[in-house]
């Protein structure tokens, strides 16, 4: 029974991931930086056109992203895109991190399926918004 159930789950997973590149599948199944940061320097929550939400947490030291985490209720590609974006931004200066583009994410994953291009946009916009919020709060201190 357990064997049959495992087989069913595996087949279901394969069907869900059809059309995804190997890199996209691997990132979705092994995401990095999932979680929250206590007392972050910035925290934002953004909901995309599809209704999926990404929350992002940043710790910033000397103008560099020293820690970054995310949470999402989104689809596999959203998890993969946010994982890639947070991994790439970690240890970057905030100016460098602002240069990450949705096209970079799309290229990294060997072209996201058309209906999931906006997952890359949501991930990048969430990062940019978290950085902007941090900068605005610095200005107002
Ligand atoms: Fe909308 Fe992934 S399907 S962010």
Confidence (pLDDT) at 93 = 98
Q: Which residue's CA is minimally distant from atom 4 of ligand 1?
A: 119
> Atom 1 (ligand 1): residue with closest C-alpha?
50
Which ligand 1 atom is nearest residue 118's CA? 4
> Which segment of 10-14, 35-39, 117-121, 127-131 scores lowest on mean pLDDT?
10-14
d(CA 90, CA 60) in angstroms, rounded, equals 10
43 by Cβ neighbours in 10 Å (0-12 / 13-18 / 19+) ranks as middle
- Beta carbon of 69 within 6 Å of any ligand 1 atom: no
First to last CA, the chain: 61
The predicted model scores a pTM of: 0.90
User: Which pLDDT score, from 0 to 100, does residue 1 have?
Assistant: 64
Tell me what pLDDT residue 108 has: 97
Residues 56-105 have pLDDT tens digits of 999 999 999 999 999 999 999 999 999 999 999 999 999 999 999 999 99
Phi, psi of 112 (to 5 degrees): -70, 150
């Amino acid at each position: 029974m357990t064997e049959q159930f495992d087989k069913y789950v595996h087949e279901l997973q394969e069907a869900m991931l059809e059309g995804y590149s190997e890199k996209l599948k691997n990132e979705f199944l092994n995401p990095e930086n999932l979680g929250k940061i206590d007392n972050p320097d910035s925290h934002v929550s953004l909901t995309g056109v599809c209704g999926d939400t990404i929350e992002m947490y940043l710790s910033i030291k000397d103008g560099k992203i020293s820690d970054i985490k995310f949470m999402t209720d989104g689809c596999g590609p959203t998890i993969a895109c946010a994982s890639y974006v947070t991994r790439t931004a970690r240890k970057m200066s905030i100016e460098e991190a602002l240069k990450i583009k949705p096209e970079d994410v799309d290229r990294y994953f060997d072209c996201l399926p058309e209906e999931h291009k906006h997952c890359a946009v949501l991930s990048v916009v969430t990062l940019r918004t978290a950085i902007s919020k941090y900068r605005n709060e610095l200005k107002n201190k």
